[in-house]
Amino acid sequence: MKRQPLLLAAGAALAVVAAVGLTLTTSSPAYCQAAPKTAPKAQTSQSKQSFREDIVPIFKGRCESCHQPNGEGTQKSGLDLTSYAGVMKGTKFGPMVIPGDPESSNLMLLLDWRASAELRMPHGKKQLSSCDRNAIRAWIREGAKDN
Ligand code: HEC
């Protein structure tokens, strides 16, 4: 009769694991989680954003139709989003990305729709998902590297 309490304990442990698993999976998916605003140190252990793998696909799908050398966005603003050099060069008026400082980067201001309505990007289209914007934000915070 010594086994029963053990089995019960195992069952209880399993139930706890199941409950924790549930709360974990019902919150927003790991790939979409906002990077914590404070505690930048904690992020060094997390996966880093890659310009080529995480950021370029967003620009390709949502921005390049207008922001390529002959596109209207590039013609009007000078911003060419088809290359790293173009992204970092910014517009005719200056850089849009300040490495390490997403909050002062005008790119995030426009993408978060914190600027006036006519400057919201992408022009006339759906806002980028918070998932995409957080990826760009994290990439800038990590130094906006050509990685
Ligand atoms: C439908 C066309 C279109 C799309 C798509 C588009 N843009 Fe633009 N963008 C423009 C135009 C046109 C301008 C020129 C300035 C203006 O008219 O506001 C511009 C200007 C900008 C500027 C400079 C604003 C300034 O203050 O000078 C930034 C930054 C920008 N776009 C980023 C983006 C990003 C990032 C995306 C993708 C998420 C994007 N744009 C998608 C058309 C577009």
**pLDDT tens-digit series, residues 14-56:** 554 444 444 444 444 556 665 555 545 444 445 799 999 999 9
Pocket of ligand 1 contains residue 133 by CB under 6 Å: no
Residue nearest atom 1 in ligand 1 by C-alpha distance: 123
Q: Is 12 exposed, middle or buried (0-12, 13-18, 19+ CB in 10 A)?
A: exposed
Tens digits of residue pLDDT in 101-129 = 999 999 999 999 998 999 999 999 999 99
Ligand 1 mean position to 144 CA, how many Å? 19
Answer whether 118's CB lies under 8 Å from 76's CB.
no
* 51 Cα to the center of ligand 1, angstroms: 19
How far, in Å, CA of 98 to CA of 104, rounded?
A: 7
pLDDT digits (tens, 9 = 90+) for 50-95: 999 999 999 999 999 999 999 999 999 999 999 999 999 999 999 9
Residues 6 or more apart whose CB falls under 8 angstroms from that of 42 comprise 36
Other Cβ atoms closer than 10 A to 89: 16
**Cα 81 to ligand 1 centroid, rounded to whole Å:** 10
